[in-house]
Structure 1
Amino acid sequence: MAALSAKGSALAKYQAFFVGDTKPGRLLHYELVMMVAGVRGALGYALRKKLYPGLFGKAGGGMNFGRDLSLRCPMFMSLGDRVMIDDNCALDARGTGGTGAFEIGNDTLIARDCILVAKQGYLKIGRNCSIGSQTTLSAVSGIEIGDHAIIAGQCYFGGGRYKTALGAGPMVEQGLVTKGPVVLGNDVWVGAGVRVLDGVRVGDGAILGAGAVVTSDVAENTIVGGCPARPIGQRS
């Protein structure tokens, strides 16, 4: 936590924001890796596969990384075996406070242009999951996704809402309130463009239809759709 609240020079603030640690060695390592991370072709692929794992707090074997990743405090992240992170993804663990509560399980794919950010709380993705392109996971009080989840592109999970009291200053400065973490069970299928709001719990085996806005809990093996989402079927 001390690194996250670092004060002083612009360099120290940069290290706290991007690296998560003010030790010179960690900064040098981070900078060197990020310099070569955008190399194209087979050479770039090999360099990323070799160099990226050392940035993370815990990294499994057989991982693959795309180009132009944005990493903030990767030392607070834990990645399992054979994790794949495609081009242009942003992973931000600053909000975990250095607790290591940013985890991606074995054999999980993060498709290109995804944003995974722990504003505060935790972000945990289980084993053998697929997170579709341009999906945003924004953990205010926490996001937990079980094993074998299929999440299509352009989905949004989490968030909160700004306090809106009149006379208490600008809303952007009043802080966030949240109904609690988002929790998805195992073997959940989430269609394209789904929004799952804070405090929602989705049971094992549920299906969230494309474009649904999920504002309340979903029972296991239930199919929901619409805005706001409501039950439209049951898996048999």
Structure 2
Amino acid sequence: MVCEHSPDGRRIDKNNLSKELHCGGDPLSRYKHKVLGGDKGYLQLLQFEVGQLFLANLGGGLGYLLRRLCIAPLFSGCGKNFILGRGVTLRTPGNITLGDNVAIDDGTLLDGGTGELSRMEIGDNVIVSKGCVVQAKTGLLAIGDGCDIGAHCILTSAGGIVLEDNVLIAGNCYLGGARYNMDRLDTPVMDQGIYSRGEVRVGRGSWIGAGATILDGVKVGEGAVIGAGALVTRDIPAFSIATGTPARVIRKRVE
């Protein structure tokens, strides 16, 4: 659907978080819906709570083993050799599919979202480093095989995020998000609705430097390099090196 005030974008139906937390049904039902989604039962909620209460911060190899045994069944699919670090926050794991040899480091938020199009797919041999926020809020978030996401990155999917295979992302990067309408002066910006200019797609074998930001609707071509601190607002061709704010291509990797 095209947004009335943003003809180049698509309206995003965003649930009001305050209403989700405080309105509709009893508190336990609201909590279950928020952490597991509406299609999960109270037995699964109990399993989740046991994992979070007793195992979330359990150290050593025993902690890794017990978290895998308790939490892995809550995902839509989970491959072998799954590693879940300490202090990981999970939301709606039933919308998340994990491949083989996936490692989620300490203090990460992994959120499968609650929207109709929310879905997270993580491929084989993927590393999500410490303190990341990875959210399939209202769209697909797909991470291809062999990707390595540095510490404290934020990936928040409104119109979709796709990382193709073997993408390397340094620490403190931001990908995705959405934009607020702001045409009306009589209404707070936060109440004017949001829209997206489309998915973020990062081509296979690309490298995103530390602290870079890639906005919605941007496509980074195969094998491209984005310099540290760059603000990427437009498409970057394959095998290009782009730096600056806003980012521009300074040369090709191969002439």
**1:105-184 → structure 2 map (5 Å cutoff):** 105-167=123-185, 169-184=187-202
Alpha-carbon distance between aligned partners in 2 of 1:202 and 1:65, rounded to the nearest angstrom: 30
Between Structure 1 and Structure 2, how many residues are aligned? 231
1:9 aligns with 26
Q: Could you tell me which amino acid in structure 1 is paired with residue 113 of structure 2?
A: R
2:206 aligns with 188
User: Does the 8 Å contact 1:67/1:86 carry over to 2?
Assistant: yes
What's the TM-score, normalizing by structure 1? 0.93
CA deviation string 1:45-71 (max 9, x = no partner): 221232221121110011111001111
User: Does the 8 Å contact 1:197/1:214 carry over to 2?
Assistant: yes
Deviation at 1:22, TM superposition (A): 4.6
Alpha-carbon distance change, 104 to 155 in structure 1, aligned in 2, over 3 angstroms: same
User: Does the 8 Å contact 1:92/1:116 carry over to 2?
Assistant: yes
Alpha-carbon distance between aligned partners in 2 of 1:168 and 1:67, rounded to the nearest angstrom: 45
Q: Could you tell me which amino acid in structure 2 is paired with residue 46 of structure 1?
A: L
1:101 aligns with 119
Alpha-carbon distance between aligned partners in 1 of 2:115 and 2:67, rounded to the nearest angstrom: 25
Q: Are residues 1:19 and 2:23 paired?
A: no
Q: Could you tell me which amino acid in structure 2 is paired with residue 17 of structure 1?
A: K
2:50 aligns with 32
**1:48-67 → structure 2 map (5 Å cutoff):** 48-67=67-86
Identical amino acids, percent of aligned pairs: 39
1:69 aligns with 88
Greater displacement, 30-39 / 58-67: 30-39
Q: Could you tell me which amino acid in structure 2 is paired with residue 62 of structure 1?
A: N
User: Does the 8 Å contact 1:146/1:186 carry over to 2?
Assistant: yes
CA deviation string 1:59-101 (max 9, x = no partner): 001111100111110011000000000000001112443x562
1:81 aligns with 100
User: Does the 8 Å contact 1:78/1:100 carry over to 2?
Assistant: no
Q: Are residues 1:216 and 2:242 paired?
A: no
Q: Larger relative CO (CA 8 A, sep 6+): 1 or 2?
A: 2
Alpha-carbon distance between aligned partners in 1 of 2:24 and 2:45, rounded to the nearest angstrom: 16
User: Does the 8 Å contact 1:141/1:178 carry over to 2?
Assistant: yes
Find runs of 4+ consecutive structure 1 residues off by over 3 angstroms. none
What's the TM-score, normalizing by structure 2? 0.87
User: Does the 8 Å contact 2:118/2:139 carry over to 1?
Assistant: no
Q: Could you tell me which amino acid in structure 1 is paired with residue 31 of structure 2?
A: Y
Q: Could you tell me which amino acid in structure 2 is paired with residue 127 of structure 1?
A: D
Q: Could you tell me which amino acid in structure 1 is paired with residue 35 of structure 2?
A: F
Q: Could you tell me which amino acid in structure 1 is paired with residue 253 of structure 2?
A: R
Alpha-carbon distance between aligned partners in 2 of 1:166 and 1:153, rounded to the nearest angstrom: 36
User: Does the 8 Å contact 2:113/2:119 carry over to 1?
Assistant: no
Alpha-carbon distance between aligned partners in 2 of 1:42 and 1:184, rounded to the nearest angstrom: 34
Alpha-carbon distance change, 176 to 206 in structure 1, aligned in 2, over 3 angstroms: same
User: Does the 8 Å contact 1:57/1:100 carry over to 2?
Assistant: no
Q: Could you tell me which amino acid in structure 2 is paired with residue 12 of structure 1?
A: S
